[in-house]
Structure 1
Amino acid sequence: MSEDPVKLTPMLEQYMSIKAEHPDALLFYRMGDFYEMFFDDAVTAARELQITLTTRNKNTRHAAPMCGVPWQSAQSYIADLINKGYRVAICDQTEDPRAAKGLVKRAVTRVITPGTVFDDAILEAKSHNYLSALYDNAANSHSGFVWTDVSTGQWTGVEFNRQSDLWQWVQKIAPSELLLPQGYSVSRHCRLDGVRMLHMPQGHFDLKRAAERVLQIQGVRDASVLDLDGKDELMRACGALLFYLEQTQMCSMDHLKPFTLLNLSRRLLIDEVTESNLEIFIRLNGRKGKGTLRHVIDDTITPMGGRLLEDMLRHPWRDIAPAVRIQDAVLFLHTYDNCRAALRQALKNIYDLERLSTRISIDRATPRDFTALRGSLAALPKVCDALLQHPCVPDQSDTRKQTETLPEALRHIVNNWDNMEDCTLLLEAALLENLPPVITEGCLFKKGYHADLDTILDLIEHGEDKLQEILEAEQKTTGINKLKIGYNRIFGYYYELSRSAGALSLPDRFIRRQTLANVERFTTDSLKKLEEELLSAAERRKSLEYKLFQDLRLHIAKQRERIVHLADIIAQLDYFQSLAHVGRQNNWCRPALIDDANLDIREGRHPVVESILGSENFVPNNFSLDTKRRLCLLTGPNMAGKSTILRQVALICLLAQMGSMVPASEAKIGMVDRLFSRVGAADNLTQNQSTFMVEMMETARILRQATRRSLIILDEIGRGTSTYDGVALAWAVVEDLAKRQNASLRTLFATHYHELTALEGRLPSVFTMNIAIREYKNDILFLHKLVPGPSDRSYGVEVARLAGVPAPVVQRAKAILTVLERGKTRQHNAAAAISISLPGLAAHEARHASIRTALPEISPAPAAAEHPLVRLLQDIAPETISPLEALALIVEWKKLWGTEPAVPQKISAALEN
């Protein structure tokens, strides 16, 4: 007979019913001052958080694994779980336990997921945390991709006509969470490491519901206001994203800023492969920080400035006008050190206005958030004043003239400045200096802010004095000076008088509370009223301060638009000063932005490599492209610096179009619309793609998508396959690039295939350069200098020796190389004989055959002959000979010295010693 099912306690029944609504989240169940977890959630949380796992109702059929974390410090534990990819459902008490009849009501108030984080303890201050959604319509090949940083309210999106472009951007944005329609499969070519993908029912992407939801949240009547009219796929993605936010946050998302469509036609497009190859945000080894471009140029002080810098690195300007506008502001702050120093100092007092205002708007703010906001607002006047500290106008008191001399971008900021003095004064008058971490414990407001609160505070602070006053009044009225006041937890406050002092003669208003052997205890209506006021003062203070805090929060929440406006302004100022400060510190120059496709860089440097080596150890180089010289074939040995040259040209163009100064003595940059790179490759084992396959896929994308205003850098195309195939493919790629867009593509092509240099003079736009080296006494010195013409050879064997390859291997390689070089002339003649106009596969096969027939045969290494000393050594038994016999043997060996073949090196060294 089966056992009866286990009957859960009412509390656990409530827990299980709430947990059933959120099966994919860890449920933080509020019990008093703790968040408790039970059953499987407890096991998981205890393991991941390294906290103690206990058991409720241990040794009974009702035993339940459990663990818990303190309510006030839960954020750090939640942060750990979110960073590990978990979802956390916060289940709070929705009624006052003191007023509850029976089990306290509880409900989930929000679900925290990797893409819906608002708390600074989890977020990176200077980086965005994106929640995204996409909708791909296979019927018309249109797709929409939208992403938002819910902590700031920023959201934007892009519509695509090609699925390949869609997945490029998904990888580029790298959201924490990606919402997809049910049944939709991710492209097999898309790598989404660390992205949590969630498939939602198709109904959540319904166009009509999506449009209604978007218009309601944004407070507009027509989709055209948001530039979403006719963009159905994008609208569907927006609707699904909003539904998910409402479902998890359980509050209105009206803190979101107006939706902005990202206009790709005005931005320099940098795909995710190029971002990775150029190590803009992350090094090739997957690490952030030192060794990345962001680390070099990020001298921002505020979180808003850091996030704007991140945005500009992802998609700089393609238009000259906005880039020049930034350049003017940067040059001004670069020129006037005092102005920049004052601005940097003032910005240090500005906290994250965007995220603070968001938490205030959605009622997730703590008292200390208001402290940070108050301090930030109080610092605003100094930020504005810092911009006017420049010597352009002798009269420093003439603000109008000082403003007129500012560059356009800074002048616009000053003219639209808002010190928000009303909010600053309100917060300073209302809140105490040191606030508690939570709003439910009181101790928030200053005296003088609210009359009722002042009465309560006066009672709390002067309760003993009021008791003494009422006692003295009764002593005077009754004429009994021996009347006293006492207190115990059972009877509260009371009057006490001994019988001998006349207790029986007290007026009728004295009500007897207790009779003891020698004394009587009484109370009066006035004492009971005062007692009630004193005992409830603390709770009334907490309750009133909670209400006042909510009123204050609502008032500040209504100012969100003003705060966000200031946050945008602060971000721009911080961005400008960071670029100016980095330019000044590193001796960079302002580049000239031009409207043609030419490129001229004088003494250019790689910003990241220079920051690591130091300016005195980095060799600058000149590089230019013009109408007649569009494709540079760059040759030279490994370690000479070819990849550095390629990357530094691309990074200088990127920096210039951000409005930044650049690491060069002078530069003229023709605006770039797309930046492509094919630098290095690795296997993608998860998608069954070899190094060569990855290389070819990236090359194919460049050949298909490059435009006449693009900049292309290619490094070692074809090295992932055999020499013959590699040369053939590299040759064909160079030909194709040289002919595309009427021979106007700007390309830097680094290669070890010296056969390609034969294309110089045969294709009108192709020219060669190499990284110079110097040979001295069988050694090579890397000069890291870019010079015209091809290199004479690759110096691969010399580089191998420098890298520590064993000497016998190096010597053998030299012998093989000598044999190969005998056929060098024949190889060169065969390559030169190939017709450049030979099309398609026939051309590749002809090259392959010609080069193969030109290669000489390589004889295997001859077997080494045995030296006589080796035979003598084999015949010796060292343990049986005396010292004198050993000396005689050495003399005999000396006689054999010089016989052929040569004595091995180790024996030679021993005999010489």
Structure 2
Amino acid sequence: MAKRKLTPMLEQYLHFKEEHPGCLLFFRMGDFYELFFEDAETVARAVQIALTSRNPNDENPIPMCGMPHHSVEPYLSQLLDKGYKIAICDQVEDPKEAKGLVKRDVTRVLTPGTVVEDSNLNSKANNYLGAFFFDAAKDAGGIAWVDFSTGQWSGLHSRRETELWQWMAKINPSELLLPQGAKVPPQFSELSSQVTFVAPGAFYDLSSATNRLLESQSVADLDSLGLAGKGELVRACGALLTYLEQTQKGEFGHLGEFKPLNLGKHLLLDEITERNLEIFRRLDGKTGIGTLWRVLDRTMTPMGGRLLEARLRQPWRHLAPIEKTLDCVTFFYERDQLRVDIRHSLDSVYDLERLSTRIFLGRATPKDFVALRQSLKTLPLLKARLDGQDFSSAPDLGKIVNKWDGMDDLAEVLDKALVDSPPPVITDGGLFRKGFDPVLDELIELHEHGEDRLKELHQKELAETHIPKLKLGFNKVFGYYFEVSKAYKGQVPDHFIRRQTLVNSERYITPALKEMEDRILSASEERKALEYKLFQELRERLAAARSRFLYMADAVALLDYCQGLAEAARVNEWCRPDMHEGMEIEIEAGRHPVVEDALGASNYIPGDLRMDQERRILLITGPNMAGKSTVLRQVAILTIMAQIGSFVPARSARLGLADRVFSRVGASDNLAQGHSTFMVEMTETARILRQATKRSLVILDEIGRGTSTYDGLSLAWAVVEELSARAGGGIRTLFATHYHELTSLEGKIEGLRNLNIAVKEWKGDIVFLRRLVPGPADRSYGIEVAKLAGVPRPVVDRAREILAKLEEKSQDNGSKRAVDRASQTLLPGFGAPPIEISGELTEHPIITQLTDLDVDGMTPIQALMLLNQWKDMIKE
């Protein structure tokens, strides 16, 4: 088949397509973006628009689809959500001035991690682009992440590759850059980021990365950024900057100061703890009801919402910032009317961070400018509400008010400049108010009232020429003209220029009429051009004030954050926690905020809990559904809430600071990684035992339940012993279990105390009292819980019969001795029981050898050989 001959336009399309492999190419043609070939088929299918063809009558028609340029954003958003990358190819010269084919170029590449438009973003969540690098030869690596929509970026250097992946999973960027050949470890395969593989040499070169980073931050050396000796983190930063250069096709000087993550400042919550405690998402992966975020979020602005997200991911570790935040929250908590007024004003403040970013990048729409104007008009109202308040109890709020920048100058300019409802497209005109620019006023007057100006000129000529039947007309050949009857031909003045002779009249133009016509006919285009120029000048003025916008965005975010926490505390009747640097935890009438939100305050039964030097490990027993997991999570969540500066759901709470919170709760598997429920459980337990410190808070739920009874019981027992022995005195731990044998450890392990969730039997059923009381549970009530869950009655009755027989057998002395002997042999913590054997057996050589055997010093081969030797001796 002969090669298809393509038009110059399609050749231009394919040229840009070749330069941007892997991208859908949106090709600007007049007022539309068009796509061709495979891209057209992909987009038509993905966003459900009509697929047509450029040459339908041809033997091989070229598939095409398109959409108007002014309504393209929703389609771009859908495609980005589906994981596509998009190259925007715009016309870079005026088609009216083009000689031949209009010049085009790719002006930017849209990817999930680089978008700035609101339609593609969650207003109260950051949208990160991440980069990962690990040098196995140096056993060191770094990760960096940037929110391009706000300009905030950070990173972490570590010698543990697993730790870097844990943080990457916690940050959960929309898009992750990896060197070609690298892989996401299997245990992090559930990472929802879109992975983009890039060339290591071009993106992760240390020299290029250093130069780009220093230039971006306007510093002379890496010491200024705290990156000296952290080449792997520098490489990750370089990958981000290189990727942004390639996708944004221009300057991105809006990036803020790079601040490496300081782990020493924050309470560390790994991704497993975030998931298990359902801080941002429920265990089923969904957001909204059932998460701590949903209960706490009473913020009114996007900036305040993102600050809340950041604090929840990285709570404070030290007392000073926690107390300062609590002081600010208390200030609003105690002033109900002020809080109501502040909330009302904040509701009119839009996203100052992202608005200023779009303005700086030249991507702001007229709607963005109107939103910015509304926000700036609200700032003086906020300031007025705060003026005159006594900030002695909350000095951080006082500093904000004292350094307030109302940006009145910019608010005044925007108020004078823009109409209330500007058109969506900058080049359509109609953006500016009258009075903003004298030349524009004249063009607006001509465009909107040109006919009136012509009538004025007509009346003037009538008065000066005294020709009674002087008419004003228009046709497409001559344009506007004056028509004079031949009867008054002699009265025509000299400045009338004849253009056409008719049977009964003559048609004339005048210099003034021609000038007026030219101005009227061109006024529309001139107005659009001038408004576009004025819009760009206004954008540049606002872009130059970006630092002022960011300062006020931070100020508003802190106000919003504190009032939001105060609102949540007031609505839910929470109390201010008493924070201290000791190890004690005392909670009176504590509640789980998320469970209470779901059930209602009247349906939740509060409980007390105390942990101190004598109660470092709390062993909690009780039946399923009684609320053991709720108690565990409740203590962890109250600790996290307190360390972000929030009030907590309790009558009173005295909480010792934690440096980390670990959780091992629930039962889940990971079949994609080949991990069973028990394997996941043991992996999470291993992480806790290796990383927990004396100041950590650990919650463990049902350790060892995924394997056989004795294996699981032994593991649970050993874990308790290890936690009690760690950190020179034990780690604060809440341990829920169904292994009642563990309750015997109270009195044997220092600092361990038994607690149980109280239940009451009533006419063969059980009633959950939801109270945490001292002592071990007397039984598990598993059959009763099964009955409540709806297990068929025959199964329940049969289970009771079997249980009765098993309990009857356990009363037999011989059986009881056998069970006791097995337990004492298998369970660590007990001495070996006396062996009841005959005198002959006591003197057997095997017994002698076994007594003297050095088990730790034997190799597996030696052990097998010895067993074989004993076997032969027994045969003899």
TM interval, shorter chain, is over 0.9
1:475 aligns to 2:462 (yes or no)? yes
Counterpart for residue 98 of structure 2: 100
Shift of 1:18: 1.2
TM-score between the two structures when normalised by the length of structure 1: 0.88
Alpha-carbon distance in 2 for matches of 1:245, 1:530: 50
1:610 aligns to 2:609 (yes or no)? no
Q: Which stretch has the larger CA shift, 727-736 or 535-544?
A: 727-736
Contact 2:391/2:397 (<8 A) preserved = no
Question: Structure 2: which amino acid aligns with 1:424?
Answer: A
Contact 1:340/1:386 (<8 A) preserved = no
Counterpart for residue 69 of structure 2: 71
Question: Structure 1: which amino acid aligns with 2:706?
Answer: G
Shift of 1:210: 0.9
Alpha-carbon distance in 2 for matches of 1:236, 1:311: 25
Shift of 1:637: 0.2
Counterpart for residue 166 of structure 2: 168
Counterpart for residue 448 of structure 1: 435
- 5+ residue gaps, structure 1, are 389-398, 843-913
Counterpart for residue 399 of structure 2: 412
Question: Structure 1: which amino acid aligns with 2:370?
Answer: T
Alpha-carbon distance in 1 for matches of 2:273, 2:671: 20
Counterpart for residue 494 of structure 1: 481
Alpha-carbon distance in 2 for matches of 1:768, 1:175: 43
Contact 1:758/1:832 (<8 A) preserved = no
Counterpart for residue 194 of structure 2: 196
Shift of 1:247: 0.7
Counterpart for residue 111 of structure 1: 109
Decide whether aligned partners of structure 1 residues 403 and 514 sit closer, same or farther in structure 2, where only a CA change above 3 A counts.
farther
Counterpart for residue 362 of structure 2: 363
Deviations 1:341-361, CA, capped at 9 Å, x for gaps = 111111011000000000000
1:465 aligns to 2:452 (yes or no)? yes
Deviations 1:401-450, CA, capped at 9 Å, x for gaps = x3553511211111111111111111111111221111101111122222
Give 2:35's match in structure 1, choosing from 23, 37, 57: 37
Give 2:806's match in structure 1, choosing from 816, 820, 824: 820
Counterpart for residue 151 of structure 1: 149
Shift of 1:191: 2.8
Decide whether aligned partners of structure 1 residues 811 and 163 sit closer, same or farther in structure 2, where only a CA change above 3 A counts.
same
Contact 2:717/2:828 (<8 A) preserved = no
Alpha-carbon distance in 2 for matches of 1:225, 1:266: 20
Contact 1:456/1:540 (<8 A) preserved = yes
Alpha-carbon distance in 2 for matches of 1:194, 1:318: 29
Give 2:764's match in structure 1, choosing from 768, 778, 781: 778
Counterpart for residue 424 of structure 1: 411
Q: Which stretch has the larger CA shift, 664-673 or 823-832?
A: 823-832
> Percent of aligned pairs with the same residue?
55
Give 1:549's match in structure 2, choosing from 507, 529, 535: 535
Alpha-carbon distance in 1 for matches of 2:456, 2:793: 102
Contact 2:348/2:374 (<8 A) preserved = yes
Question: Structure 1: which amino acid aligns with 2:414?
Answer: L
Counterpart for residue 864 of structure 2: none
Shift of 1:841: 11
Alpha-carbon distance in 2 for matches of 1:192, 1:234: 24
Contact 1:36/1:68 (<8 A) preserved = yes
Counterpart for residue 705 of structure 1: 691
Alpha-carbon distance in 2 for matches of 1:185, 1:80: 27
Shift of 1:470: 2.5
TM-score between the two structures when normalised by the length of structure 2: 0.92
Question: Structure 2: which amino acid aligns with 1:26?
Answer: L
Question: Structure 1: which amino acid aligns with 2:350?
Answer: Y
Alpha-carbon distance in 2 for matches of 1:528, 1:316: 73
Alignment of 1:315-326 (within 5 A): 315-326=314-325
Alpha-carbon distance in 1 for matches of 2:136, 2:368: 46
Counterpart for residue 377 of structure 1: 376
Deviations 1:587-608, CA, capped at 9 Å, x for gaps = 1110011101111111110000
Contact 2:824/2:830 (<8 A) preserved = no
Shift of 1:694: 0.8
1:678 aligns to 2:664 (yes or no)? yes
Contact 2:177/2:195 (<8 A) preserved = yes
Contact 2:327/2:393 (<8 A) preserved = no
Question: Structure 1: which amino acid aligns with 2:800?
Answer: K
Deviations 1:182-239, CA, capped at 9 Å, x for gaps = 2222222213443111111112111111111112122222322222222211111111
Counterpart for residue 142 of structure 1: 140
Alpha-carbon distance in 1 for matches of 2:176, 2:828: 51
1:265 aligns to 2:258 (yes or no)? no
Question: Structure 2: which amino acid aligns with 1:836?
Answer: G
Alignment of 1:379-398 (within 5 A): 379-388=378-387
Counterpart for residue 275 of structure 1: 274
Counterpart for residue 523 of structure 1: 509
Contact 1:755/1:831 (<8 A) preserved = no
Shift of 1:533: 0.7
Which secondary structure state, in structure 2, belongs to the residue aligned with residue 132 of structure 1?
strand
Alignment of 1:635-650 (within 5 A): 635-650=621-636
Contact 1:755/1:828 (<8 A) preserved = no
Counterpart for residue 19 of structure 1: 17
Decide whether aligned partners of structure 1 residues 828 and 651 sit closer, same or farther in structure 2, where only a CA change above 3 A counts.
farther
Which secondary structure state, in structure 2, belongs to the residue aligned with residue 145 of structure 1?
strand
Q: Which stretch has the larger CA shift, 432-441 or 356-365?
A: 432-441
1:756 aligns to 2:742 (yes or no)? yes
Shift of 1:474: 3.0
- 5+ residue gaps, structure 2, are 833-853, 857-876
Q: Which stretch has the larger CA shift, 371-380 or 24-33?
A: 24-33
Give 1:747's match in structure 2, choosing from 721, 727, 733: 733
Counterpart for residue 88 of structure 2: 90
Shift of 1:567: 0.4
Shift of 1:803: 1.1
Counterpart for residue 124 of structure 1: 122
Alpha-carbon distance in 1 for matches of 2:731, 2:384: 48
Which secondary structure state, in structure 2, belongs to the residue aligned with residue 453 of structure 1?
helix
Alpha-carbon distance in 1 for matches of 2:137, 2:667: 34
Shift of 1:507: 4.1
Question: Structure 2: which amino acid aligns with 1:369?
Answer: D
Alpha-carbon distance in 2 for matches of 1:191, 1:698: 16
Q: Which stretch has the larger CA shift, 91-100 or 570-579?
A: 91-100
Which secondary structure state, in structure 2, belongs to the residue aligned with residue 269 of structure 1?
coil
Shift of 1:838: 7.5
Which secondary structure state, in structure 1, belongs to the residue aligned with residue 131 of structure 2?
strand
Deviations 1:444-501, CA, capped at 9 Å, x for gaps = 1122222221221232343223222332333344342322221123321111122233
Decide whether aligned partners of structure 1 residues 512 and 665 sit closer, same or farther in structure 2, where only a CA change above 3 A counts.
same
Alpha-carbon distance in 1 for matches of 2:785, 2:763: 15
Alpha-carbon distance in 1 for matches of 2:507, 2:667: 91
Contact 1:174/1:192 (<8 A) preserved = no
Counterpart for residue 56 of structure 1: 54
Shift of 1:88: 1.2
Deviations 1:614-658, CA, capped at 9 Å, x for gaps = 111111111111112111111000000000000000000000001
Q: Which stretch has the larger CA shift, 829-838 or 278-287?
A: 829-838
Q: Which stretch has the larger CA shift, 54-63 or 44-53?
A: 54-63
Decide whether aligned partners of structure 1 residues 59 and 193 sit closer, same or farther in structure 2, where only a CA change above 3 A counts.
farther
Give 2:779's match in structure 1, choosing from 793, 797, 800: 793
Which secondary structure state, in structure 2, belongs to the residue aligned with residue 774 of structure 1?
strand
Q: How many positions carry a matched residue from both structures?
A: 827
Question: Structure 2: which amino acid aligns with 1:426?
Answer: V
Contact 1:591/1:662 (<8 A) preserved = yes
Shift of 1:775: 1.0
Alpha-carbon distance in 2 for matches of 1:67, 1:488: 40
Which secondary structure state, in structure 2, belongs to the residue aligned with residue 611 of structure 1?
helix
Which secondary structure state, in structure 2, belongs to the residue aligned with residue 780 of structure 1?
strand
Alpha-carbon distance in 2 for matches of 1:139, 1:597: 41
Shift of 1:810: 1.2
Q: Which stretch has the larger CA shift, 166-175 or 809-818?
A: 809-818
Contact 1:346/1:386 (<8 A) preserved = no
Alpha-carbon distance in 1 for matches of 2:180, 2:632: 43
Decide whether aligned partners of structure 1 residues 296 and 800 sit closer, same or farther in structure 2, where only a CA change above 3 A counts.
same
Alpha-carbon distance in 2 for matches of 1:593, 1:676: 20
